[in-house]
Amino acid sequence: MDDEEMDGGRGGAGGRGRRIAVAGASGLIGGALTRSLTADGHEVVRLVRRDPRGPDEVRWDPEAGRVDAAGLDGCDAVVNLAGAGIGDRRWTDAYKTRLRSSRVHGTTALAEAVASLERPPEVFLNGSAIGYYGETGDRAVDEDAPPGEGFLPALCVEWEAAAEPARQAGVRTVFARTGLVVARGGGAWGRLFPLFRAGLGGRLGDGSQYWSFVALHDEVAALRHLLERADLSGPFNVTAPDPVTNREVTAAMGRVLRRPTPFPVPAPVLRAVLGELAGDVLGSARVRPARLLGSDFRFAFPAVDDAIRAAL
């Protein structure tokens, strides 16, 4: 099993196999989490948008806010990592509506389903993002910081608030505010690897913006840690301990891949190509995982060079 897919044993399941429902199991993080849980003998129930093909699948429609609650009965945990891709396309008004509905409506449906069960799960683990904090510049922030301003912070606030029915029902509710995941198979970094391998990589804008990254291996281990620790609830930043600038990311990619990085992409070009999404690329988010570190979680790949090598 690749380093980026395996569980690091820092939040290991232990004891009996558990029944865990996962929404977003076909995505980058959800797929890696599902493989890790299955490898350790847990039963994973996948939420799907089509008719279920077996007892390990449950029908739901996140954007319509519908889920077959009966299929969640008996689950020890429910994990929601579903949502349209933030960087998949330009942020038109229509796509921003989809970004919101796929997260907020889906979370509301799952939280209400969880709250309705006679035997609710022990934990509801909901995805979120460091976009909650918005632009932070050089200022380091942790979970105590308030939300920022703009579309992404507002979306993250509404996304997390949608889980309130589960919390009100007494289910331990956790939010994983994930940073930029270093992986070959998807996300922002998945787009960077081909460019840098071709010798076309370079800093974005002036390169001074902070990128709060996390190796996919550590992302999965952190999610399992949050699932297993019955004393943990609320928001947790899932990012490596020390964010780096885009200039440092560029240098690290060049070192690890042994390629030159001569072509900076000017900010005006990024804005012309990406539209409003360019603010997310050019913006600076210097986010630290204070609560995760305080819970004795250990990162296997805390340095950006090591995270890149793990993805390879």
Q: What pLDDT, in 10s, does the model give residues 154-212?
A: 999 999 999 999 999 999 999 999 999 999 988 778 878 888 888 888 888 888 999 99
Cβ density class 118-131: b for 16+ within 10 Å, e for less: eebbebbbbbbbbb
What integer is the mean pLDDT of 204-221?
94
Residue 5 tokens read as 């897919």
Strand partners, 67: 60
- Which range (36-45, 117-126, 186-195, 229-238) has the least confidence? 186-195
Overall pTM surpassing 0.85 (yes/no): yes
Residue 102 lies in a domain: yes
pLDDT at 7: 40
User: Which domain does 286 fall in, by range?
Assistant: 19-311
Q: In CATH, what number is assigned to the domain containing residue 178?
A: 3.40.50.720
H or E segment to which residue 81 belongs: none
Residue 230 lies in a domain: yes
How many domains does one find in the chain? 1
What integer is the mean pLDDT of 1-16?
41
Residue 14 lies in a domain: no
Residue 2 lies in a domain: no
Strand ordering across the sheet containing 234-238: 66-67, 57-61, 43-48, 19-23, 77-80, 123-129, 172-178, 234-238
Residue 13 lies in a domain: no
Residue 4 lies in a domain: no
Banded model confidence at residue 85, pLDDT cuts 50, 70, 90: confident
Residue 44 lies in a domain: yes
Strand partners, 202: none
Tell me how crowded residue 196 is: count the other CB atoms within 10 A of its CB. 23
Q: In the chain, helix, strand, coil percent, each to 5?
A: 40, 20, 40
Tell me how crowded residue 259 is: count the other CB atoms within 10 A of its CB. 16
Residue 195 lies in a domain: yes
Average pLDDT score, the chain: 89
Q: Where are the alpha helices (DSSP H) in the chain?
A: 28-39, 93-100, 106-116, 151-161, 164-168, 187-197, 216-228, 246-257, 267-274, 278-282, 290-294, 304-311
**How many CA atoms lie less than 13 Å away from 171 in the CB half-sphere?**
32
The residue that leads in pLDDT, 168 or 272, is: 168
